[in-house]
Amino acid sequence: MSGVTLKGALIEFMPTNLPVPVPNVIVFQYNPETMTHTWTQPEAAPPSSTATGGAEASNPLAVKGNPGETFSFTIAMDANDEIANNGPGAPIAELSGIYSRLAALEMLLYPASAGQSGLLGTVSAGIASALGGQASGATSAVPQSVMPVALFIWGAERIVPVRVTGLTITEKLYDSTLNPTHAEAQLSLRVLTPAELNSAKTDNDVLAGLATTAYNYTFSVRQALALANLVNAAESLIGMIPH
């Protein structure tokens, strides 16, 4: 891997009628220079009930669930560099600048109806509606909207399921037809916990299982690295103890 720079990415797995979900991969053209990784303490555990129906004081150190975890960073996109490098996205960049990549990020904030999650599901639902609405015999119901879940990939040791909670796009340059050719996107991501993913399981068990596996994998890597740090901690402790 010497001389090769890994790129960060967001991957939304979109359910379809195929046996496996289709990934919508948003690879960062340039990795952000800085990234803020924020943690918040877990929610305190509620008081437990006594046999008589009263409330029993809970352990002040008891918590419910895992700590909150968020990422925030800014990524840059440039169509001219894509065209100059003659990469696979060059024809699209010549036609629409970076708007396709911006649109892919924007769609991560749009909810989709249950059973039609993801970009492909949203598009297919819109086409079906335009061609005549519901199928014959279908009953009308209030749709349940769900937010997309994506995997945030930052190297081989950090792959976590996230929800995009904030997106601010600053367009800086345009081509002759006003397609954006250079922009910066400020992203805020919240890491989803296994408890949230488990409660979200409906007809999307494959996707929820994949997201849970990614969370558990990154957690196990974090545990292993923390254990490796014990060696340095022991040496530091010995140096702090007076002889």
Give pLDDT tens digits for 5-30: 889 999 987 655 656 666 788 999 99
Cα(17)–Cα(21) distance, integer angstroms:
8
In a domain, 94, yes or no: yes
The structural domain count of the chain equals: 1
Domain boundaries, position 28: 9-47+56-130+143-240
For 38-91, the pLDDT digits (tens) are 999 887 777 766 555 555 556 777 877 788 999 999 999 999 998 998 888 899
In a domain, 178, yes or no: yes
In a domain, 137, yes or no: no
In a domain, 103, yes or no: yes
In a domain, 1, yes or no: no
For 115-170, the pLDDT digits (tens) are 444 444 443 333 334 334 444 444 444 445 566 789 999 999 999 999 999 999 99
In a domain, 231, yes or no: yes
In a domain, 195, yes or no: yes
Q: What is the pTM of this model?
A: 0.75
In a domain, 135, yes or no: no
- Give the N- to C-terminal CA distance of the chain in Å, as an integer: 45
